[in-house]
Structure 1
Amino acid sequence: MLVVGSLLLFAVVVLAASALLTWRLGRTIEKENPPVGRLIDTGPARIHLVDLKPEAPAPTDVPSAGAPPAVLLLHGANVQHTDMRVALGDRLARRLRVLLPDRPGQGWSGEGGPEVSDPGHQVALIRTAVETVGAGPLIVVGHSLGGLIALRYALDEPGAVKGLVLINPTTHPRPGGLPWFQRVAEVLFVGPLIWTVLLPATLPMMDRLVTRLFRPEPPRRDYAARTALALALTPRRFRNSMTEYSDLRDHLVAVAPRYPDVTVPTVVVVAEADPIVPAALHGEVLAKVLPHGRLVRIPAAGHMAHHRHAEVIAAEIERLAGLPPA
């Protein structure tokens, strides 16, 4: 009995020490990566939005067409707006206005309530932020889970969207559901582990995590530092990511039948070697049901194709925005 009590006391001490370390690491990471854009009150939450404007208006291919549409870049899961800014945002902002929000629950954006994983909820908050800064119409670009949010944006706000560019988008439920070990992991990581051991255990493995994100292509050596990847691993943000994952299947089942209602021109960019969001289960299926969809394949590319093949994707975005080739 004494041994059991000692082991329990030891476990409590270890967890308490880990929780304190997690809190201190989280505060340090947040201090090193403060918000750099506007914190816009949308009612339920504040949305962090970076607004990049070109120095001079870009010419368009269509005379008298006026200013080209702004580009809204929506990041995927377990990251924040910096992922899209480093990959595409700064490059596109030479010629176009670029809006980069932290999706609700990520970066410096608030959740707006327990329904943070609901794509429609996210669209409503982001739309309010975009309207606040007076931007529109939009070319909406989404990567991975951000591709699902982009699709919902076009479905929920059709008058505000001129076109879509979807990069390795998450669009359809996995046949057969999630494997059992992934369901167990989601339960664990939404629970006590997320507030104690996850952050200190994960930070030393950052290079390995980045390599897995980029596989089979080589990772960008500066990726974690330039995108503040550690910020996404802090407890509140990681918890929200796990909630997105656990609720994702239900949202995909609900929205997939609506994809034929997306009537705007849509470019679906698929990386043929993406092991995280396989094209055959997602982007290729989507492109077949879109009335104005066009499939662009990138051979041998992985999930982070927007970093490794940025020029190809940026050219598609600029073409959709009506700009002549650079």
Structure 2
Amino acid sequence: MLVVGLLLVVAVGLAAAATLTWWLTRIIEADNPPVGRLIEAGPARIHLVDLAPETPPGTGAGTGAEPPAVLLLHGANVHHADMRLALGERLSRRLRVIVPDRPGQGFSGEGGPVVSDPGHQVALIRTAVEKVGAKRLVVVGHSLGGLIALRYALDEPGTVAGLVLINPTTHPRPGGLPWFQRVAEVMFGRPLIWTVLLPASLPMMDRMVARLFRPEPPVKDYAARTGLAVGLTPRRFRNSMTEYSDLRNHLVAVAPRYPDITVPTVVVVAEADPIVPPALHGEVLAKVLPHGRVVRLPGAGHMAHHRHAEAIAAEIERLAGLPLG
């Protein structure tokens, strides 16, 4: 009877936690609604924000043609607002900027069970980009979004005018994932994702933000302004965990193809990034790119696109062919 009683208590507790998670998810989504367009992209709808330039952009890359649009691809556990607020609004003064929620994040659908596959994500994003009429792109990716940007250049070379990669995830770690990530994959299985993860994580939001930005201080009100809690809701967090668990296999498969990328590429490495160490990723990538250039940010952490936005935006504008100004 004691065992039965304990099981009943656990079941009731999990049911209560699941109800609380459902309620919190509804509140978080209402506080951070889709602000862009929902584009049908085959098996999924892609949510994207399309920012028109405030002033005529002139011409790009000395061709006499309109400059390319900028496609901003966010990293893991966040959605489009991270890149829009860091770079999108700044760049849209002079360039067209397209900022999607990557498949499975924000208000974009998964498009099937292979949401972690970079090629699948590129296909969905590319369809959405075509439907809003953008042809040539400078593709900018942060962290895991850097991997998607690299795959975009490999899969859609005719549409990419250049790449800017900010602390990109590019190569498998020697020896596999750190032990704490392997433990997290086991601990954050489906039952916990749909029950206790969200209510347990919200009180620790400030600590999470500090870890993202370290060793630099976070920008003010980062979590609230970017809707960081959206990435902790069950569906999005489940997709993030799938990306993490499948990441090594995707990196092993794509890394040998990097020398095939022939477009101008700027690799921005934050030298103090503890999350995606440049010595294992960005610095290694730059050595194999035919037209790669490294921009190093001494003392910068993983969220360099927020703390060093002006310097990074200048690199993007330069690659788009705009005169400095």
Whole-angstrom distance in 2 between the partners of 1:312 and 1:55? 20
Whole-angstrom distance in 1 between the partners of 2:259 and 2:23? 48
Q: CA deviation at 1:237?
A: 0.2
Unaligned ranges ≥5, structure 1: none
Whole-angstrom distance in 2 between the partners of 1:71 and 1:179? 34
Report SS of the residue matched to 2:129: helix
Whole-angstrom distance in 1 between the partners of 2:116 and 2:223? 24
> Quick one: structure 1 residues 41 and 62, their matched pair in 2 at CA, closer, same or farther if it must change by over 3 Å?
closer
1:135 matched to which residue of 2? 134
Matched to 1:73, the amino acid is L
Identity percentage of aligned residues:
81
Aligned residues: 325
Report SS of the residue matched to 1:104: coil
Report SS of the residue matched to 1:267: strand
CA displacement 1:148-180 (0-9 Å, x = unmatched): 000000000000000000000000000000134
Q: CA deviation at 1:297?
A: 0.2
Whole-angstrom distance in 2 between the partners of 1:118 and 1:247? 8
Report SS of the residue matched to 1:110: coil
Report SS of the residue matched to 1:142: strand
Report SS of the residue matched to 1:201: helix
1:48 matched to which residue of 2? 47
Q: CA deviation at 1:43?
A: 1.1
Matched to 1:174, the amino acid is R
Unaligned ranges ≥5, structure 2: none
1:48-87 equivalences under 5 Å are 48-60=47-59, 65-87=64-86
Report SS of the residue matched to 1:225: helix
Normalising by structure 2, report the TM-score.
Answer: 0.98
Instruction: Output the aligned Cα RMSD.
Output: 1.0
CA displacement 1:52-98 (0-9 Å, x = unmatched): 00133212476562211000000000000000011000000000000
1:2-151 equivalences under 5 Å are 2-60=1-59, 65-151=64-150
Report SS of the residue matched to 2:188: helix
Whole-angstrom distance in 2 between the partners of 1:236 and 1:63? 45
Q: CA deviation at 1:14?
A: 0.8
Structure 1 segments (4+ residues) deviating >6 Å: none
2:193 matched to which residue of 1? 194
Normalising by structure 1, report the TM-score.
Answer: 0.98
Equivalent residues of 2:61, 2:319 under 8 A apart: no
Whole-angstrom distance in 1 between the partners of 2:272 and 2:91? 25
Equivalent residues of 2:60, 2:68 under 8 A apart: no
Q: CA deviation at 1:244?
A: 0.2
Report SS of the residue matched to 1:73: strand
Whole-angstrom distance in 1 between the partners of 2:220 and 2:82? 14
Report SS of the residue matched to 1:176: coil
Report SS of the residue matched to 1:11: helix
1:205 matched to which residue of 2? 204
Matched to 1:260, the amino acid is P
Equivalent residues of 2:71, 2:140 under 8 A apart: yes
